[in-house]
Amino acid sequence: MTAEALVHSVLDSLAVRSDFPALQQTVRGGKRLVYLDNAATSQKPRAVIDAVQKFYERDNGSVHRGVYELSERATAVYEGARKKIARFLNAKDAREIVLLRGTSEAINLVAYTYGRKNVRAGDEILITEMEHHSNIVPWQMLCEATGAVLKVAPITDAGEVDLQAFEKLLSAKTKIVSAVYVSNSLGTVNPIAQMSALAHAAGAVMIVDGAQAAPHFLVDVQAIGADFFAFSPHKMYGPSGIGALYGRYELLDAMPPFLGGGHMISNVTFAKTTYAKPPAKFEAGTPNMEGAAGLAAAIDYVQALGIDAIDAHEQLLLKYATDALAKVAGLRIIGTAARKVGVVSFVLDGVHPHDVGSILDRHGVCVRAGHHCTQPVMERFKVPATTRASFGVYNTMEDVDALVEGLAAVRKVFS
Ligand code: 7TS
């Protein structure tokens, strides 16, 4: 079987592509749109767009509060999405799912509430060198507020966490370990269950930044031992502005609230306010209801394709792209871990990644060029930035070929 036929045998990516209205357009004067920036945000299938529109056309009403039919429907959509996420991530209970804006807000919530309650001066928080800024800055803010110390587990030249060093950095002082499941700039899939087990053995809680995991393979928050797990559905064909924090119920229940306001209370008087139980305690204000409708449709969409088929499809693309890019003169791939998702970061001798990105854009190829909000990773590999291609369900080998052809054009400009 040819490689092209093999890709189509696990997922019919051309049929999948036709589900995405945005991918039907041409760009830059008639060029086929080759969208390879899925790690930043994915395009949306018709089913998700329709679910958002249907919510506005039929079900929009005040969630949780109203006594009329539209409000009941809005509440059913919103709470239905919560249940769907709980099943998707294999949480024990839907009350363990807090609906927020996304991964950044989820990690900030944990740092602010769990962190300020449980972390004292001299305690330690352990992260890794491959974290997104969203999983660095909230911990630095917590350390500033409490006098705790941030420790960083180094990564190897291949872009894998140095597990021995990680283990050595754990001690009775470690109160929190927070690590990325999948690196957005390197593509590395971390041995997160093993890291959780080590964190727990040291008596720390384990927070998993799952932004780049859930779109690509089956996630089971219980199996990986996550105490908290952050999720951004806009990277998984869902709407932006909605996301989730999974937290073990006992932990959520013992945490103080984050934002104050409507819905998060049990009773308010000027003398004393008592708070609602989780997840309501962390959901002040009118939430993103239409986003919840779209998010539920996105989960249905990936489950209908089959998450294992998605994984297999992206692995084939990753291999095809890695082999093809390795043959490009002067190109070096940054991130060569044994286990990766469909993310390829690279640098091209003598050409700044921003120039690579701009020239590729002229050919209709959308990639990300920059530090990908992982400046310490750039420092680790001694590069100012990388060009990153990241794959999704609708990408094909033709897309990879377009990338490689675009790179030949870059080379011509800079020769
Ligand atoms: N963590 C990881 C690993 C990420 O890749 C991102 C976003 C975030 C956290 C933040 O997610 P948000 O939904 O709250 O924004 N990563 C990227 C990226 O790679 N390019 O643009 C955003």
Range of the domain at 332: 3-32+306-413
The count of domains in the chain is 2
Atom of ligand 1 nearest to the CA of 390: 19
Q: Which of the following is catalytic: 149, 150, 324, 373?
A: 373
User: Considering only CA atoms, which residue is closest to atom 6 of ligand 1?
Assistant: 211
Q: Do residues 7 and 17 touch, judged by C-beta distance below 8 A?
A: no
**How much is the pLDDT for 13?**
82
Q: Is the peptide bond before 191 cis (omega within 30 degrees of 0)?
A: no
Alpha-carbon distance of 331 to 346, in angstroms, equals 7
Q: Are 372 and 248 found together in one domain?
A: no
247, 278, 303: which is the final residue of a domain? 303
What is the whole-number distance in angstroms between the Cα of residue 254 and the centre of ligand 1? 28
10 Å Cβ neighbour count for 90? Answer: 14
How many whole angstroms separate alpha carbon 103 and alpha carbon 411? 37
**pLDDT digit string (tens) for the chain, length 415 residues:** 566 666 666 788 889 999 999 999 999 999 999 999 999 999 999 999 999 999 999 999 999 988 899 999 999 999 999 999 999 999 999 999 999 999 999 999 999 999 999 999 999 999 999 999 999 999 999 999 999 999 999 999 999 999 999 999 999 999 999 999 999 999 999 999 999 999 999 999 999 999 999 999 999 999 999 999 999 999 999 999 999 999 999 999 999 999 999 999 999 999 999 999 999 999 999 999 999 999 999 999 999 999 999 999 999 999 999 999 999 999 999 999 999 999 999 999 999 999 999 999 999 999 999 999 999 999 999 999 999 999 999 999 999 999 999 999 999 999 8
Kindly state whether residues 294 and 350 are assigned to the same domain: no
Phi-psi region of 257 (alpha: psi -120 to 50; beta: other; left: phi over 0): beta
Last residue of a domain, one of 254, 274, 303: 303
Between CA 184 and CA 136 the distance in angstroms is 14
Pocket of ligand 1 contains residue 232 by CB under 6 Å: yes
Backbone torsions φ then ψ of 379, nearest 5 degrees: -65, -40
Q: Quick one: 208 and 69 in the same domain? A: yes
In a domain, 317, yes or no: yes
| 290/321 same-domain check | no
CA-proximal residue: ligand 1, atom 18 (nearest): 40
Is residue 41 in some structural domain? no
CATH number for 126: 3.40.640.10
Residues 141, 233, single domain; the answer is yes
Active site residue 366: no
- Residue 98 phi, psi dihedral angles, 5° rounding: -100, 125
Single out the residue in 276, 303, 330 at which a domain terminates. Answer: 303
Q: Is residue 387 lining ligand 1, measured as CB closer than 6 Å?
A: no
Please check whether residues 118 and 252 belong to one and the same domain.
yes
Atom of ligand 1 nearest to the CA of 235: 13
Is residue 22 located within the same domain as residue 88?
no
Start-to-end CA span in the chain (Å) = 37
* 5 C-alpha to ligand 1 centroid (Å): 32
> Residue 242: what pLDDT?
98
Q: How far from the centroid of its chain's Cα atoms is residue 90's Cα?
A: 17
What per-residue confidence (pLDDT) applies to 251? 98
d(CA 209, CA 398): 32
Domain assignment present for 42? no
The pLDDT value recorded for residue 2 is 63
Cα(211) to ligand 1 centroid in Å equals 6
Q: Are residues 284 and 313 in the same domain?
A: no
| Coil, strand or helix at 181 | coil
Dist. CA 26–CA 31, nearest whole Å? 5
Q: Same domain for 299 and 320?
A: no
Spell out where 192-236 has E strands. 205-209, 228-231
Confidence at residue 5, expressed as pLDDT on a 0 to 100 scale: 62
- Identify the helix (H) or strand (E) that includes residue 267: strand 265-268
Contact indicator for 24, 14 with CB cutoff of 8 Å: no
> Do 155 and 218 reside in the same domain of the chain?
yes
Helices (H), 327-385: 353-362, 375-380
Q: Is residue 290 part of a domain?
A: yes
Assess if residue 44 is contained within a domain. no
